[in-house]
Structure 1
Amino acid sequence: MKKAETASTSQDRSPSLRERMSDTQVDHDILDIAARLHWYALTVPAQKEFVAQKILRRYGLRTFVPLRREYRHASAKAKRTRQPKQEFCFPLAPRYLFAGFTPGRPLWFDLFSLPCISGVVGIDGRPMPIVRKDMTRLVRKTATGINAPEAQKFMRTHHEFSVGDVVRVMDGPFEGLSVPVVEITGGLARLCLSLFGGAVDGVEVRLDWLEAA
């Protein structure tokens, strides 16, 4: 295995979210092969999980990055101009990926010569394989990704909430109040407000006017 070449990058801009989240495709036969390989958990630099996966695949290694799907703006401009959020894949366990080897001794020296690999999970400096049935269970549960609720498409990024949570109203006539969410339907949340001396749970507010308290 030769040391991977470092690709040159443009210095005049940061990579977009879409560029950083490329090559997230899970191997179509991952469930079939998971039980036949020896799996190790590798550590990689932050936000390089999918880059590392792409490089390792070029060398013929089987890899698996458990996914979660979230709604995000594709770029700062998209957020600024209030364009609809899109669905993107993110690592479920940031800075980790799983590599599967055919039975035998992994070539750790060659593997660690790659700039995208920081280390391997082990005990006392010794790489420890993952129990096969545990790896198979992980693949079975997460191979298709863990999806965020569709309602989060309309919520403020990193301030998402669910029914029963207390939210702060950030805009509109009830700005400044902190109230519980009774129901979420489409792009609206029904809130339980205290108005005119009593509780009212029929007030609907736009999701993008709210954030988790």
Structure 2
Amino acid sequence: MTEENALPEDALANEPKARWYTMQVYTGQEEKVKRYVLEESVREGLADQILNVHIPTEKKVEMRGGKRKVKEVVNFPGYMFIEMLLTPHSTHFILNAPSVLNFVGPDNHPHPLSESEVKRIIGRIQGDDEAVLEISFKVGDTVRVVDGPFNDFTGTVQEINEEKKRLKVTVSIFGRSTPVELAFQQVDAVQ
């Protein structure tokens, strides 16, 4: 680009910038709304204004019947985040999408998220792909060992170490209470 064709710097500074906003939607409809917004924005010619739709989720590991099950769980049910250029047309399009209730902000008007909020919400979740083990027991609960040398033993949870994802369980071996350390996935809660 030659010097005479270059845009003045202040013209670029006044150009509207896409920001992240929070939308409230019907709980359980997040994925349907995301699909609709992304597909219909292209048809409506808004693809340059609606850039990204994000539903924060994380993988949770549950132990059911001694089997590990990984499932995707929505972090903020009923809410989703949209990166968009705020124009009357794009705002009208979002507010009239099926299952969208409104924007989150004062008087339900779109209020952009700060950079730190975007990093905390969107960045954390995109960077963390590791499944989170859901702890379904607490100290004092009765558990059954489902894996390892103490398989089929029943015991009582004495300690929970969330960092190491391990439990200290007291089991009865030959009539004596013996503490054993087990991984979360080695036990099931007794109903």
TM-score range, shorter chain: 0.5 to 0.7
Q: Please, which of 133, 137, 141 is the counterpart of residue 168 of structure 1?
A: 141
Does the Cα contact within 8 Å between 2:158 and 2:169 map onto a contact in 1?
yes
Counterpart residue type for residue 118 of structure 2:
M
CA distance in 1, matches of 2:76, 2:135: 20
Where 1:143 maps in the other structure, the secondary structure is: helix
TM-score normalized with structure 2 length: 0.61
Between the aligned partners of 2:161 and 2:85, the Cα distance in structure 1 is 50
Alpha-carbon deviations, 1:59-82, whole Å to 9, x = none?
233111222111359xxxxx7xx5
Could you say if the C-alpha distance between residues 83 and 66 of structure 1 is closer, same or farther in structure 2, counting changes exceeding 3 Å? same
How far off its partner does 1:210 sit? 2.1
Partner SS state of residue 99, structure 2: coil
Given the alignment, which residue of 50, 64, 69 partners 2:31?
A: 50
**Counterpart residue identity of residue 65, structure 1:** I
Q: Does 2:53 correspond to 1:68?
A: no
Task: Percent identity, please.
Answer: 14
| Alignment partner of 1:180 is 2:158 | yes
| Alpha-carbon distance, 1:123 to partner | 1.0
Does the 8 A contact of 2:37 with 2:97 survive in 1? no
Q: 1:195 to 1:106 in 2, by over 3 A?
A: farther
What residue ranges of structure 1 are gaps of 5+ in the alignment? 1-35, 74-78, 153-157
Q: How does 1:1-213 map to 2 (within 5 A)?
A: 37-58=18-39, 59=41, 60=47, 61=50, 62-71=52-61, 84-102=67-85, 104-105=87-88, 107-145=90-128, 147-149=130-132, 152=133, 160-161=136-137, 165-171=138-144, 174=154, 178-181=156-159, 189-192=167-170, 200-202=178-180, 207-210=186-189
Distance in structure 2 (CA, Å) of the matches to 1:72 and 1:210: 11
SS in structure 2 at match of 1:52 = helix
1:100-144 CA-to-partner distances (Å, cap 9, x unmatched) read 112544633322222121221011232222123421343221113
Which structure would you say has the larger Rg? 2
Q: Distance in 2 between matches of 1:52 and 1:145?
A: 24
**Displacement after TM superposition at 1:55 (Å):** 1.5
Given that 1:182 and 1:201 are in contact with CA atoms closer than 8 Å, whether structure 2 keeps it comes out as no
* Cα-Cα RMSD: 3.9
| Cα distance change, pair 160–207 in 1 and its aligned pair in 2 (3 A) | farther
Separation in 2 of the partners of 1:122 and 1:170?
46
- The number of residues matched between the two structures is 156
CA contact (8 A) 2:23 2:104 kept: yes
Aligned to 2:149: none
Kept in 2: contact 1:69–1:88 (CA 8 A): yes
Using structure 1 for the length normalisation, give the TM-score. Answer: 0.55
Separation in 2, partners of 1:130, 1:53: 19
